[in-house]
């Protein structure tokens, strides 16, 4: 790839406009761990999930039944929130147009976009989006919570929900394994994206000249794609990898630790989660993560993803 001056100035504008150096400085503490995860967890996702054909209504009811068992208080508030919200089941057409399941505020009204039920992915996504909807409870609409926290709730709920589906005979063990493999795979892909982007910024060292960018591309051709996306976003839309992806990585790491706590003490952990959900607009990254898994959260994440026994060997 030969870069021209326009590319260099677009790149500079995007990177500076989005405060990327500042952003990476903020999450620098996680970078060694991300490299470790990439080295340790290269896995393949095998097989396909079983077909499930719940109606949209049955799917929603099944997920709400789960939430009721998970934590009745949280569920009651979630049901209230959903009654006020607009729940939309996406058609195949809107999916082709690139509209994904999500929770958005549109003219002060909450919209919850869901997929129709095809397999465990759509089921788990529904629990994921309901967890996001649950974070809107008791939260002043004007208050925006720390973006880096916002995928913890959804990843945690997906894990508890998948386990519940197995216990209740909806998912097979094979489906469950597929789900776990997929989560790890996605985590590794996301970590790679963040590491690449961080590496480009380090190499660049605030020098946005065309020559400097060209040097990086020549020395590390595999980063060309990353560099293009840093300038222009992903596949035409302006989603900027690092900032967008980081919330999924932090979400998955913290959720995994919290899930282990949940397996040891489900009631206490679901109550902690409920409390967190009702107040998380007040938290920054450190406060939010500390609230859920303790102030020693870095050690805890490390112990979960790199168990001690292996360290000692």
Residues of the shown chain interacting with Zn ion in the complex, contacts defined by CB under 5 A: 154
Q: Closest separation between CB of residue 101 and Zn ion, Å?
A: 8
Report, in Å, the least distance between residue 249 CB and Zn ion. Answer: 13
Residue of minimal Cβ distance to Zn ion = 154
Taking a C-beta distance cutoff of 8 angstroms, is the pair 275, 288 a contact? no
Spatial CA neighbour of 258 closest among 175, 157, 165, 182: 157
Between 152 and 170, name the residue whose CB sits nearer to Zn ion: 152
Please, what sign has the CA dihedral across residues 279, 280, 282, 286? positive
- Cβ 250 to Zn ion shortest distance, Å: 12
Exposure string of 103-129, with b = 16+ CB inside 10 Å and e = fewer, is beeeeeebebbbbbbebbbbbbbbbbb
H helices of the chain, in order, are 5-17, 20-26, 31-40, 56-70, 72-84, 92-96, 120-134, 152-167, 173-204, 210-219, 224-232, 241-264, 266-279, 285-293, 297-305, 308-312
| CA torsion angle 67 266 166 303 (round to 10) | 120
Choice between 126 and 154, CB closer to Zn ion:
154
In the bound state with Zn ion, the residue whose beta carbon lies nearer, of 71 and 126, is 126
Identify which of residues 154 and 198 has a Cβ nearer to Zn ion in the complex.
154
- 294 three-class SS: coil
In the complex with Zn ion, the residue whose CB is nearer, 152 or 301, is 152
Min CB(136)–Zn ion separation in Å: 13
Q: From CA 110, how far away is CA 123, in angstroms rounded?
A: 20
Which has the closest alpha carbon to 46: 180, 189, 166?
Answer: 180
Q: Output the six-digit token pair for 232.
A: 């222009």
C-alpha angle 308/290/127, rounded to 5°?
Answer: 90
The neighbour count for residue 138, using CB atoms within 10 Å, is 13
CB of 253 to Zn ion, least distance (A): 15
State in angstroms the smallest separation of the CB of 10 from Zn ion.
Answer: 29
154/183 with CB nearer Zn ion = 154
- Cβ-based nearer residue to Zn ion, 12 or 247: 247
Closest distance of CB 155 from Zn ion, Å:
8
């Amino acid at each position: 790839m030969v870069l021209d001056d326009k590319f260099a100035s677009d790149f500079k504008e995007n990177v500076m406009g989005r405060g990327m150096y500042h952003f990476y400085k903020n999450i620098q503490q996680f970078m060694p761990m991300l490299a470790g995860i990439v080295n340790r967890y290269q896995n393949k996702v095998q097989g396909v999930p079983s077909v499930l054909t719940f109606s949209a209504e049955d799917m929603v009811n099944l997920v709400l039944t789960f939430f009721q068992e998970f934590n009745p208080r949280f569920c009651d508030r979630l049901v209230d929130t959903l009654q006020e919200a607009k729940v939309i089941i996406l058609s195949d057409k809107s999916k082709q147009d690139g509209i994904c399941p999500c929770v958005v505020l549109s003219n002060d009204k909450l919209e919850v976009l869901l997929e129709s039920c095809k397999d465990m992915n759509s089921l788990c996504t529904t629990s994921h989006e309901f967890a996001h909807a649950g974070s809107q409870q008791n939260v002043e609409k004007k208050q925006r919570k720390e973006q880096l926290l916002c995928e913890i709730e959804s990843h945690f709920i997906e894990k508890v929900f998948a386990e519940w589906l197995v216990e209740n005979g909806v998912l097979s063990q094979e489906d469950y394994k597929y789900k776990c493999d997929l989560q790890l795979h996605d985590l590794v892909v996301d970590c790679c994206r963040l590491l690449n982007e961080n590496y480009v910024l380090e190499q660049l060292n605030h020098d946005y000249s065309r020559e400097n960018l060209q040097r990086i591309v020549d020395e590390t051709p595999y980063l060309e794609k990353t560099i293009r996306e840093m300038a222009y976003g992903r596949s035409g839309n302006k989603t900027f990898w690092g900032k967008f992806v980081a919330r999924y990585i932090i979400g998955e790491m913290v959720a995994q630790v919290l899930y282990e706590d949940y397996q040891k003490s489900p009631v206490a952990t679901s109550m902690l989660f409920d409390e967190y959900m009702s107040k998380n607009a007040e938290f920054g990254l450190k406060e939010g993560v500390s609230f859920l898994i303790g102030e020693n959260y870095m050690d805890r994440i490390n112990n979960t993803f790199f168990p001690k026994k292996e360290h000692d060997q």
